[in-house]
Structure 1
């Protein structure tokens, strides 16, 4: 494949564009930069690859064509100089290209959009691409016509080089919308890739030259030329109906949303009207409702009536918005009234509210504490806060409340105990006789709380004043080790009491037996004797979506059928399309991103591969090998901030490249004496309070009021016996 970066160095964006390519360039991919102007050429030369120097004033279309002429790849992927490839994008595209038959001319992928303010976190075209899935289809075969509705860009599709050169007159059109949609119309077959592979940067309109009248009219012209193309090619009715709909909707959107002089807007409307009448498909029926009225006014070339209709709609919308806002204010006042009325009621000494991971599930330290509570203090009634979206996933019979409901505020007001591994909303009042227990959800390697002030990437969107107000509500803070205690007190300075009792969620690592481990492996489909390696990377603040940093296909191929990878993406990326779909069918990869609890995955595995995730501290309790795959440690440490140098004090072997990791796993080095020595040092430091009785200590101290000296003492590390390994469990 040839990645053809093209254009000017607009607003200094070419360098990060090229870095996004060169930082992950597989050997079977070449970089060709069609650099317009001296500045772009200087940047391109510094980043390597093939550089095609072009004079100032060269259009994007001419730059694409010049780059394509120098490209040697079987496939061409055009990337605007302002955009970026997402991590794992080239590998994902390559894998998809390798999987398509020779009849496929276009592979259409998903993308993200970013502005100066923010970046989308989910693919813009995911729904449309998912309908096609792994099939390859001609554009006329359902549901492929709807692919014309995907963003009309060249950066979100790869074109077979022979297809490009054979149809260069059409595909090299100056209008990118035309070229992108013509590619789908002309292709013999189209395949899809649901993973977002490119970040399309939308520049602030105020930073760009004003759009001329002729550029406005060019949109109508481009749609008409697409209609002519379909007429010439004998395109089936399905795509023609979709494109007609896009033309009508798209041109009306320009009139409604873009600021144009009235004369330009009137002429644009007139041209769009003529196109709508000229190309209306036979038997076409207008949509109903307001959109149908707009279409009729367009077909009638009734510009003045259209403007009056829009103005009336705006007035109605404004009136409805004002009414909604009024109702919202009234609703808020009613909620506040009910909540504050409930706050005047006595605290229910036998009521405890639990939440984990922003109301996602019964999980983590709160889950382990709630379970122990039913054993040691059954008179205290646990109620879980669960979001509406996750309500159906609750274990049967779980008493719960949904945020924002009437019962939610009543329970939050009356509860004696409030337990969370993050923070409760700002609106939750701290009553003098209520107890707030902060359990946290990991040992900190990365900077947290106020320590993020010096790291804007990590602190983006944080309101530190509000954070401090939430911290001031804590009565207790649970800690797994002295390192955590010090870091929490530094990052979250307030009056709470630190409970050096261990993490309750880690009790299972000393409580589980051989039968438990066999049962988990059976549920996961891991055969006895097969090595299972858990791969659990962390979230990166500087990445929009999660993509494995490893070439999992190559790794599993090298390790063979005797090894299975349990791959778990960070829960921050739970809504993103899984990049693992193509590997599941091999049987060597199991996607466990949605599997809960994570502790069971740890028990089922023989070793852990992670980067900077806090799972390493928990997993170390099992005294099993941990490998740190730290290919971007310097970047992570610089952008996120860290409390200690993991490279100097790792839990086991460190691999900085995939080759190093593969070598460790392909030999016995992953569990050698050096690994055990590093792990022993790591366990002494970070498994300090975890001994299998953390939940009991927390319940006795917080819920039963027992004094510190009466609690079960923490067992010394050498006196603890972790759960058996999978090998021991099957012996």
Structure 2
């Protein structure tokens, strides 16, 4: 008996069915059966189902002699199911990575409930995914398992069969089946929740429900299938009427029904032209038929209760007029404000430049090289007053000390017009007029691995909407550009040409690597939740320019399972790492990547330039190059990581697991590669890069004199915390003998 029976009805979804079935069959929880039901589809769905059944014994093909609709196809799948739990998935939907594993774990934690409710996301044609459930509805806190009385809000969630896993024995005992007609999810989902003796919740997106463009997206061209709603809600209330113990839910069901009718009527494109009046008349009749005395009306209920179609249209028209009037007023106010700020800026440009002012800004809104330089300004040139341009949402991440300036305000334009020093890691304000006496310092964005600047002219997939003219205008304003090594100097001067002077002093943001202490590392690890003695892998993959949406490149859950309990992963990814266990820590929103480097024991990356910074820590680096050919073709590369890597190189996920399991990630060969890489790319990262910049640019010391560079052999960056833990035997992949790690 499998753990899950995944029922997939298929009707005219030939373009999506393979993706759907693959998302199920590649789950990390393989204890399942797939019942693929060909609902007499006129396309190739039947052939696709047969192909998968021939290749995988877990797939059972069911072919219906006539089209029964979504409910009938699901019922046919129910008749063939033998798993402990039933999971429903439409033929054009997909399960997220490790979804069934997370569902199985939660079912076990919740004590085998009758129903487990999890989240889903509606994915649009452009790749955007919007979660269905409101925040807190599926929280896993509180009693486990729970009853509907403990969380009645579950009745208000979107009615869908694909966001619940139902115990098959419970469904069979209750005799639940799907009714005919469209909108058949309500007569299934609502009775299932009300009848369940135990319910579990999982606050995780497990299903991506595809939203395909349809005729209903154009107002007045919708489908008449929404008329079936009336019959389906009649079935729900008939179910409650036959069970007196469920009468207490009539009020909640009534509110949900009226809300549903109002939403169908008011949202454009749901109903075909000419059917809106009929729909509202039937909705009003249903209101009277199922109304529960004493139910308090909500704002949208008046439309359904009284059938005020003309009044509703009048209110819509009045609302539209109000919106347009308000929009025009806002536009006028913005134009007046913009004119006043332009005048203010012109006045400020005629006032003297202030030699004791410096302004800092960063592309990410905080930290990085500008943050390190701002601290160095306050330390080595305390007579300079600093200000930080703070973008909305980044206020909490701005380092303490500098005055905060919001972009676009009067103080912002005053600072740009009169501050002597302007420091940025990106292009400055396009409307900036650099004045005589102002000094612009461009800090760069790390050592370049992939092509940058003008080299992207021949890489349209990577360039996207890059404004090359704006880049060159920005470069024309720079006085100094910081560089961490000769490689960066040669690249930046070629791909971002200008009259600036390159200061090859090192990366200021990496100064902290030489100044941090073991106590700092311990504190950072504790704040991130890294267990004492664990080996923390910082996983930081690069952005893939050729992908519209970023997808996981590695199965992190599988990796930590194979490596054993001693390893944890700090996931600094451009996508949700879907951390299902406590050994994958989501650090996407951490304000300081340098802090993450200090807290980790090893860096796992592919083509992220963070590897050049991390090499200054003299800690192991593992590079995953499985799609190197695609990356090089789309982005282009200045450094061949296969010929000159910073450490061990993995060309597949299994090889990556083997590198960590055998200890090769910190072996002597890896150390040799790292030493050569560090010598080439970290010659000046000795903890005094920011000081050298301030001494030369602000204090006027000669370019060759500021803060002599500490030789590599004499640098002692803080050691990793994992390096101080006792020896441990790491679980090996199957077919290998255990290997004891050696320091």
TM-superposed CA distance for 1:494, in Å, is 4.9
Bigger shift: 53-62 or 156-165? 53-62
- Structure-2 residue corresponding to 1:194: 203
Aligned partners of 1:129 and 1:193 also within 8 Å = no
Distance 1:169 1:511, change over 3 A: closer
1:673-726 CA deviation, whole Å, 9 max, x = no partner? 222133223323332442332212222343344443334455554454433444
Give the CA deviation at 1:181: 4.3
**Residue of structure 2 in register with 1:328 after alignment:** 334
Mapped to 1, the partners of 2:84 and 2:63 lie a distance apart of 24
Match of 1:269 in 2: 280
Map residues 48-67 of structure 1 onto 2, 5 A cutoff. Answer: 48-49=55-56, 50=59, 52=61, 54=63, 57=67, 59-67=69-77
| 1:670 alignment partner in structure 2 | 665
Q: 1:308 Cα shift?
A: 2.5
| CA contact 1:5–1:81 (8 Å) conserved in 2 | yes
> 2: distance between equivalents of 1:730 and 1:665?
16
1:255 is aligned to 2:265: yes
Alignment partner of 1:222 is 2:228? no
> Secondary structure in 1 aligned to 2:131?
coil
Evaluate the alpha carbon distance shift between residue 72 and residue 457 of structure 1 in structure 2; reply closer, same or farther with a 3 A threshold.
farther
1:159 aligns with 2:162: no
The residue aligned with 1:621 is: 616
Write the distance in 1 (CA, Å) between the matches of 2:550 and 2:149.
31
Equivalent pair of 2:560/2:567 in contact (CA under 8 Å): no
Distance 2:128 2:506 in 1: 38
Report matched runs for 1:210-359 at 5 Å. 214-234=224-244, 240-259=250-269, 260=271, 263-287=274-298, 292=299, 294-359=300-365
Counterpart of 2:133 (choices 115, 125, 128) is: 125
Residues 361, 424 of structure 2: 8 Å contact kept: yes
SS in 1 for 2:316: helix
| Structure 1 match to 2:94 | 84
Map of 1:8-87 to 2, 5 A cutoff? 8=11, 10=13, 12-21=15-24, 24-35=27-38, 36-44=41-49, 48-49=55-56, 50=59, 52=61, 54=63, 57=67, 59-87=69-97
Q: C-alpha separation between the residues in 1 aligned to 2:248 and 2:417?
A: 57
Pair 618,554 (structure 1): closer, same or farther in 2 beyond 3 Å: closer
CA contact (8 A) 2:554 2:653 kept: no
| Aligned equivalent of 2:385 | 381
CA deviation after TM superposition for structure 1 residue 367, in Å? 1.5
CA shift in 2, pair 1:217/1:617, >3 Å: same
Q: Write the deviation string for residues 565-610 of structure 1: whole angstroms up to 9, x where unpaired.
A: 252434x56xx6x844x634xxx66655555543344334333333
Pair 322,536 (structure 1): closer, same or farther in 2 beyond 3 Å: same
Q: CA shift at 1:9, angstroms?
A: 5.3
Please state how far the C-alpha of 1:538 moved relative to its aligned partner: 2.8
Aligned to 1:413: 417
Distance 1:454 1:223 in 2: 59
Q: CA deviation at 1:264?
A: 1.0
Say which SS state the counterpart of residue 86 (structure 2) adopts.
Answer: strand
Which region of structure 1 is more displaced relative to structure 2, 435-444 or 129-138?
Answer: 129-138
Maintained 8 Å contact 1:417/1:437: yes
Distance (Å, rounded) in 2 between the aligned partners of 1:64 and 1:640: 46
Count matched residues: 710
**2:146 equivalent to 1:141:** no
Indicate yes or no: 2:572 matched with 1:569. yes
Shift, 1:671, TM fit:
1.7
More helix by share: 1
How far, CA to CA, are the matches of 1:385 and 1:304 in structure 2? 52
When residues 131 and 696 of structure 1 are mapped into structure 2, their CA distance, relative to the original with a 3 A threshold, is: same
Gapped regions of structure 2 (runs ≥ 5): 727-743
Residue 623 of structure 1: how far off its partner (Å): 1.8
> Once the two structures are superposed, what CA deviation does each residue of 1:298-324 show, in whole Å capped at 9, x if it has no partner?
212232333233222222222222222
Shifted more, 365-374 versus 539-548: the winner is: 539-548
Partner of 1:440, secondary structure, is coil
Q: Quote how far apart the aligned CAs of 1:379 are.
A: 1.7
Task: Indicate how the Cα distance of structure 1 residues 225 and 527 shifts in structure 2: closer, same or farther if over 3 A, else same.
Answer: closer
Closer, same or farther: CA 306–538 of 1 in aligned 2, 3 Å = same
Q: Which moved more, 1:705-714 or 1:693-702?
A: 705-714
- Return the TM-score normalized by structure 1: 0.84
1:605 to 600, 608, 613: 600
Cα drift, residue 285 of structure 1: 1.2
- Separation in 1, partners of 2:450, 2:127: 23
TM-score by length of 2: 0.82
- CA-to-aligned-CA distance 1:221-240 (integer Å, 9 cap, x gap): 33343333344445767854
In structure 1, list runs of 5 or more residues that go unmatched: none
Preserved contact between residue 448 and residue 488 of structure 2 (Cα < 8 Å): yes
**C-alpha distance in 2 between matches for 1:450 and 1:107:** 51
For the 8 Å contact 1:509–1:621, the answer to whether it is kept is: yes
Choose 1 or 2 for highest CA Rg.
2
Following TM superposition, by how much is the alpha carbon of 1:29 offset from its aligned partner in structure 2, in angstroms?
A: 4.3
Which residue matches 2:740?
Answer: none
Decide which moves more: 447-456 or 366-375: 447-456
C-alpha contact (below 8 Å) 1:139/1:239 kept by paired residues: no
CA distance in 2, matches of 1:661, 1:296: 62
Do 1:365 and 1:421's aligned partners in 2 also have CA atoms closer than 8 Å?
yes
Secondary structure of 2:704's counterpart equals helix
Aligned residue for 2:44, secondary structure, equals helix
**Higher relative contact order (CA closer than 8 Å, sequence separation 6+):** 1
